[in-house]
Chain A
């Protein structure tokens, strides 16, 4: 089966070159992705036997230990592959309808992007993983630049490539340290994961790996403080690519974190290992959610919400690491299950939301909230799917986002059992921060739907927006269906994660996940989405019936349409067919209370990472380049002196190394 997946990868790469027409490329991508998703699902259902495959290509022989690249499909890889291929299949179908002229530049990149991500997920040695990871970065960079006429896209592309290079710069030494711990064989570093697993790093080496992986893979996943590129680069790409970048590429970053910290570094790591991950995750959740309530661009809002969700997943991973360090496998499994289940849910509802707002950008001609409004009348299917996606985004019960967040809260609430006053207080503060983030995400979801889809149009273009094409609608409806299914049946989804949980945390969720209900411990009661949904449906039916019975005795039935009451405001004049747009609440006015109370102190006028990290870095770069400029205008005497000094320094260093 793994050979099949490998062939699939090659086919994805070839799809772009063989076919020239957009529908053919995208159709083939969709079919290949669907079969990839089926293969990953089959592997998970089969209980995730590990399959391995060695490719005859790779680094020139004699440089490093495995001669060719090696692939392996284990439960963890299969689960992330499932997220990737499901999203990719729907995005490709969607793109057939929504393709715009400038998106032709993104055509060849799309299958290559999917293939590169799959390669990174399937890698069984460090070279293959870094190769796939960097290929993914490079191709996605090209996709971000698909609309390079736009100055914003260009600057986003430059920022993104800088962050991607930095990520690679951190990952390579991380794997070098890991391989070094495995010991050198005949002077060659053994890059295979199996060798790294056999000799996990200890002491300062382990801490170094942790720091480098958090920086390298965290920058791709969107963890604070390396997140500011997401809201710039994700919206710049065509929508079906944005959907994959947010839904799947951030997950590849998270996959690398899980693979290295849980798998390659082994279970014998100290308790504090999870703390940096928890801190970065909580900060990401808060900053992402707060930015999502303020951004004026509908795709940026979703990218900020991705930062929030990645933060929640990272918190789950951190709690799992802490619990594993404290030798509480059941709690570790609970936290890891929360993180993976939320990753699965986010992998469905975030692409769904991106496809919906992509349809809005396509149909209404703008991504700016200040020019949208009232789209539910012109785009009912898109609006319906967006409302469903927003309910998942807001973490409402029985929708896809809730189960993961519920389990995460259960893990955090059980966290104080680990002990230690400082750690317990940390967990209490963590619970408050997570609750704030989830509530802010709900505010952001209401704002996105309320301003873009409800109310009156804020511009003439929004008043004549077109509904998405049939295949785009089908993709959105399909993803909505998956989101509903995932929301109602979290138990079966957890069964799919079971082998990965057992492998990574030493315990599973057996006895805690059933068809209808999931629970944090085997003895306790839990969350039963189907029963809750039934209860709500019964309440609605009962309410409707009672209303009908009572109203039947009234004097008049039915609804009558009239002008909006608006507390007796006069009707707008004839030259304002949709009323005066300034009398309607917009995106900026909606977020004003939150910005006034939280935003000013936390965000520092945009983003704290920009304020504290990026701007000082840019200033330092400017200072260095100015200093270097001075070198260019030196007199020949001084240039010779500098060259001589460098030579002496170089020789001194060599002498020191030789000794």
Chain B
């Protein structure tokens, strides 16, 4: 019975995250448009865009290899697998035992590597520039992410996401300065990983400032739809991850009743909406950085992560 419930929760979680991903992008775009005084498209526009792209014909460059053709689906599959592991509204899903934070980070690296290789496959300047910058930024984001994980492990004793979220939800770990510092670091990493302002501009049309978009310039039709869906899914995954770890209130425990799951669902929707609106407000209020300022930005995240760990050592005499 427990396994069955875990299975149902898992299926529900996957369906919800997949269905919500384009909506999250739509909400952010719509709020951003309102904030700068435009009417903006409907929040459902990303769904229509995906459907339109899927029904189009694909044009592929003459010298594209199998890497170019397989990369979008590989990136999507890796991101989807990672998204399946991050708990959204309920803990204790069937994937809970394998939901390891390092594995989630690794799956996102698979997606990044696949897209970077695809960017280099046709041999255009833009694809190469995007791949190079993407991999360089990732090199700076990774240490910050690992220090976030380091601090969480100090608190929870494991890299298993389900256990970490459960302990933080119980509040047994208390409210700590370190968690606040780590939250800032995690937000910086999330901005870099998703190509959001101030690291990259997802809506740019100026090629020289592109990072994420530059890698996928050669794609069209259903392949592009898969790439857009992957980006939306990755953003939702990061918001869900931040919600599960840093705003863990309301998430349903494995032995919860139907009411508990409904509360968890409501809490998740509320948290994601709030984070999406906050992201839109943040993106509207600041400018994109110069490319070579990004390492400094992520370097600050690394220092915050280090500071959080040291704070924890000093304050608890952790041993």
Which A residues have a C-beta under 8 Å from some C-beta of B?
373-374, 376-377, 387, 391, 394-397, 402, 406, 409-410, 413-414, 416-417, 419, 421, 424-425, 428-429, 431-436, 438-440, 442-443, 445-447, 449-451, 454-456, 517, 520, 524-528, 531-532, 535-537, 539-540, 542-544, 547, 550-551, 553-567, 569, 579, 583-586, 589-594, 596-598
Contacts and interface: CB of A to CB of B under 8 A. Distances in A.
A536 B306 contact: no
Nearest to B220: A565
Given A446-B135, A536-B77, A562-B60, A438 B142 contact: yes
A462 to B, nearest CB: 12
- What are the 5 A-B residue pairs with the smallest beta carbon separation, nearest first? A585-B128, A554-B55, A450-B120, A455-B123, A435-B146
Contacts of B131: 446, 450, 585, 590
Given A397-B103, A402-B106, A539-B77, A527 B67 contact: no
Interface string B203-243: 00001000000000110011001100000000000000000
Contacts of B150: 413, 428, 431
B132 interface: yes
Nearest to B291: A593
B143 A376 contact: no
Interface stretch (B30-38, B259-267, B307-315): B307-315
Contacts of B153: 413-414
B269 interface: no
B124 interface: yes
A543 B72 CA distance: 10
Contacts of A456: 63, 123
Contact of B54 (A454, A547, A590, A593): A547
A436 B125 CA distance: 26
Contacts of A520: 158
Nearest to B56: A554
Contacts of B113: 391, 394, 396, 442, 445-446
Most interface-central of B54, B160, B291 (chain A CB within 10 A) = B54
Given A424-B313, A532-B103, A454 B67 contact: yes
A402 B100 CA distance: 13
A504 B218 CA distance: 54
B55 A564 contact: no
Nearest to B128: A585
Contact of A446 (B76, B81, B116): B116
Contacts of B81: 532, 535-536, 539
A537 B106 contact: no
B160 A440 contact: no
5 contacts: A374-B123, A413-B159, A553-B55, A562-B62, A593-B132
A537 to B, nearest CB: 7
Contacts of A547: 54, 222, 225-226
Contact of B78 (A376, A429, A536): A536
Contacts of A555: 55-57
Nearest to A549: B54
A536 B74 CA distance: 8
Contacts of A527: 98, 100, 102-103
Given A446-B113, A455-B123, A525-B163, 13 more contacts: A409-B159, A416-B154, A456-B63, A525-B98, A525-B162, A531-B98, A532-B98, A537-B77, A557-B57, A558-B57, A560-B60, A562-B59, A590-B128
A377 B55 contact: no
A417 B150 CA distance: 12
Interface residues of B, number: 96
Given A377-B65, A554-B56, A435 B143 contact: yes
B179 interface: no
Contacts, number: 295
Contacts of A419: 319
Contact of B128 (A431, A563, A584): A584
A524 B140 CA distance: 30
With a 10 A CB-CB cut-off, give which of B63, B95, B141 has the most chain A CB atoms. B63
A406 B102 contact: yes
Contact of B146 (A409, A417, A445, A566): A409
B77 A431 contact: no
Contacts of B61: 561-565
B129 interface: yes
Nearest to B223: A559
Contact of B218 (A391, A429, A565): A565
Given A536-B107, A540-B76, A416 B318 contact: yes
**Main SS of the interface on chain B?**
helix
B54 A583 contact: no
A374 B64 CA distance: 9
B292 A593 contact: yes
B143 A436 contact: yes
B28 interface: no
B191 interface: no
Nearest to B302: A432
Contacts of A451: 120
Contact of A432 (B85, B218, B222, B305): B305
Residue among B60, B64, B110 having the largest count of chain A Cβ atoms under 10 Å: B110
Given A419-B319, A555-B55, A396 B110 contact: yes
B123 to A, nearest CB: 3
B62 A443 contact: no
Contact of B106 (A397, A421, A564, A590): A397
B295 to A, nearest CB: 5
Given A536-B77, A540-B74, A421 B133 contact: no
A471 B226 CA distance: 39
A526 B161 CA distance: 11
A586 B85 CA distance: 37
A484 to B, nearest CB: 15
B165 interface: no
Contacts of A560: 57-60
B247 interface: no
Nearest to A424: B313
B122 interface: yes
Contacts of A536: 77-78, 80-81, 107, 110
- Find the residue from B100, B139, B149, B162 having the highest chain A CB count within 10 A: B139
Contacts of B146: 409, 431-432, 434-435
A543 B125 CA distance: 30
Contacts of A446: 113, 116-117, 120, 131, 135
A554 B54 contact: yes
Nearest to A595: B136
B117 A449 contact: yes
Given A416-B318, A539-B76, A584 B123 contact: yes
B127 interface: yes
A554 B222 CA distance: 10
Contacts of A391: 110, 113
Contacts of A583: 124-125
A397 B107 contact: yes
Nearest to A406: B102
A456 B129 CA distance: 15
A535 B95 contact: yes
Nearest to B129: A585
B221 to A, nearest CB: 8
B121 interface: yes
Contacts of B44: none
Contact of A455 (B54, B55, B120): B120
A396 B74 CA distance: 13
Contacts of A586: 128
B250 to A, nearest CB: 24
B58 A579 contact: no
Interface in B241-287: none
B295 A597 contact: yes
Nearest to A421: B313
Contacts of B183: none
B58 A567 contact: no
A550 B120 contact: no
B147 interface: yes
B139 A440 contact: yes
B26 to A, nearest CB: 18
